[in-house]
């Protein structure tokens, strides 16, 4: 979402800007929407407000990262130390207390492995977050192998569901995740990266050939581009709500003329 706004992934986009995008997403899709709450946008109060707004907006859940504010992308730049556990526990509790029923899931991303900490520390932080009210833990790692993840899963003992984001260990077969008891797998930014790649290719060819003819077959049709916006519903609504022009008497000249209300 930060990339779509043209800003860096370092909390340069405010949570209100992010919430606006999320609102459009919830209105446009039928699948559950899970948001990225970054490091909570500040202290416990800043973490609780967007969680409450998301819950009221119909979002299925939110994810918090155990990083200091402002955070930056975990996979760019030097390793970042996790935020103090006491501070983060307060953010988790504030996010959970913002809802009035259990339909909003608070997922917490374990940053210990990303910041090159031990599996023991990752497990300790996972247990502490579960005790603070987190519904599920998201395990991430910078390693090209998924070896660290099963070590945590094997000792986690099913306290709560576990989600993974295999951004770096992408060659690991999905069957291993399923057999290991992983509840869900997140593909964090693949659609955006694919869109950037395709856009660069198409624009480059248009610029080179000075024509859109050659690329036309490699794109969806205009109708398909608008299909996700539910154009069909508008066409049906026009038949119901768009009142046709009707003939009314004219007070000015006594003649009939067509007017549209």
Terminal-to-terminal C-alpha distance of the chain: 42
Is 79 one of the annotated active-site residues of the chain? no
- Decide if 51 contacts 106 (C-beta within 8 A): yes
Which residues in 131-141 are b (16+ Cβ under 10 Å) and which e?
ebebbbbbbbb
- Identify the H or E element spanning 88: helix 85-97
- 3-state DSSP call for residue 159? coil
DSSP per residue, 4-55: TTT--TTT-S-HHHHHHHHHHHHHH-SS--EEE-TT-SSSHHHHHHHHHHHH
Q: Which of 9, 27, 36, 253 is catalytic?
A: 9
Residue 179: CB partners within 8 Å, gap ≥ 6?
A: none
- Angle made by CA atoms 1, 137, 51, in degrees to the nearest 5: 50
Q: Hey, which residues are catalytic here? A: 9
């Amino acid at each position: 979402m930060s990339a779509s706004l043209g800003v860096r992934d370092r909390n340069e986009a405010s949570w209100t800007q992010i919430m606006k995008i999320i609102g459009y997403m919830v209105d446009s899709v039928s699948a559950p929407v899970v948001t990225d709450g970054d490091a909570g946008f500040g202290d416990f109060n800043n973490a609780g407000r967007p969680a409450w707004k998301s819950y009221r907006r119909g979002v299925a859940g939110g994810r918090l990262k155990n990083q200091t504010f402002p955070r930056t992308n975990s996979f760019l730049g030097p390793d970042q130390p996790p935020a103090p556990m006491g501070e983060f526990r307060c953010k988790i509790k504030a996010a959970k207390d913002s809802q009035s029923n259990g339909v909003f899931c608070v997922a917490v991303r374990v940053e210990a492995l990303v910041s090159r900490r031990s599996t023991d520390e990752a497990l300790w932080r996972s247990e502490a977050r579960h005790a603070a009210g987190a519904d599920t833990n998201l395990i991430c790692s910078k390693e090209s192998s998924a070896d660290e993840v099963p070590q945590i899963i094997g000792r986690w003992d099913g306290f709560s569901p576990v989600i993974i984001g295999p951004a770096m260990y992408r060659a690991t077969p999905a069957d291993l995740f399923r057999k290991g008891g992983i509840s869900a797998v997140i593909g964090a930014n693949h659609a955006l990266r694919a869109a950037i790649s395709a856009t660069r290719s198409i624009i480059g060819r248009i610029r080179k050939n000075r024509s859109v003819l050659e690329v036309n077959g490699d794109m969806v049709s205009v109708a398909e581009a608008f299909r996700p916006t539910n154009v069909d519903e508008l066409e049906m609504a026009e038949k119901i709500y768009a009142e046709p022009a009707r003939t009314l008497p004219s007070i000015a000249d006594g003649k009939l003329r067509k007017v549209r209300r």
